[in-house]
Amino acid sequence: MRLPPVLPVLALSLIALPDVAGAQTFSAGPYVGFSAGGLLLSSTDGSAGSVDTNVDFAPGFDLAAQLGYRFSFLRAELEVEYGQASVDSFTAGATKVDGNGDVGILRGTIGGYLDLTIIPIIKPYAGGGVGVANVDGETAVVDGTVVGVENSTDLTAHGEIGFTWTLFPIVDLVPAYRFIWIDNGDDRIDDTTAHVFKLGTRFEF
């Protein structure tokens, strides 16, 4: 199992940031959050015997809800996330057919995030999470070859960067970018990866 390069980089940032973040002042307490955004599923390359295969996806959507607790500049967070994208095409060898159906991804994760303060109302952050993902896949038969993403439940992880913009004393607007990895590949097919660009709202108590 090989983690994507972005995840070790974010892990190093979690180690380095406390020296800077420790000088900042944050109020401890619980929070809830909600986010919505665009999901870009990476193409899935694979093989079936000597035939190369590929699945391309159209842009989709991503929805999530978070329950967390702030420990000063460190936050711990539980999250439920659902993303869905339509299959654009299935390819086997030189034959390409239009896709049909959707791939859905339901993830449950626990994460940790570190916040900084540039100015009082803007706080950049970095972090990530690990958990379990259920993939509701789609397959097609192209020239006698099965191509697609299988249904499965697997380990998942993500790395995320973004910032919080304080609108009111307990309300934050949270734009962010997330990279998702799902350990559902093998020696014949790539792991599922995705990019999420989202906008969230957080209510701190």
Residue of 86, 84, 82 whose CA lies nearest to 101: 86
Q: What is the CATH code of the structural domain delimited by 6-204?
A: 2.40.160.20
Q: What is the sign, positive or negative, of the torsion defined by CA atoms of 198, 116, 12, 112?
A: negative
User: CA-to-CA distance for 90 and 69, rounded, in angstroms?
Assistant: 43
User: CA-to-CA distance for 176 and 36, rounded, in angstroms?
Assistant: 10
Q: Where are the domains of the chain?
A: 6-204
102 CB-contact burial (10 Å; exposed 0-12 / middle 13-18 / buried 19+): middle
What is the pLDDT, as a whole number, of residue 112?
Answer: 98
HSE, side-chain direction, 13 A CA sphere, residue 121 = 7
User: CA-to-CA distance for 74 and 72, rounded, in angstroms?
Assistant: 6
Instruction: Return the structure tokens found at 111.
Output: 């994460």
Helix (H) or strand (E) holding 44: strand 44-48
pLDDT tens for the chain, 205 residues long, are 555 555 554 444 444 444 444 445 678 899 999 999 999 999 999 998 889 999 999 999 999 999 999 998 899 999 999 999 999 999 999 999 999 899 999 999 999 999 998 787 889 999 999 999 999 999 999 988 999 999 999 999 999 999 999 888 889 999 999 999 999 998 889 999 999 999 999 999 8
What is the pLDDT, as a whole number, of residue 66?
Answer: 98
What is the pLDDT, as a whole number, of residue 158?
Answer: 98
pTM of the shown model:
0.86
**Pairing relation of β-strands 74-92 and 95-98?**
antiparallel
Report DSSP state, residue 26: -
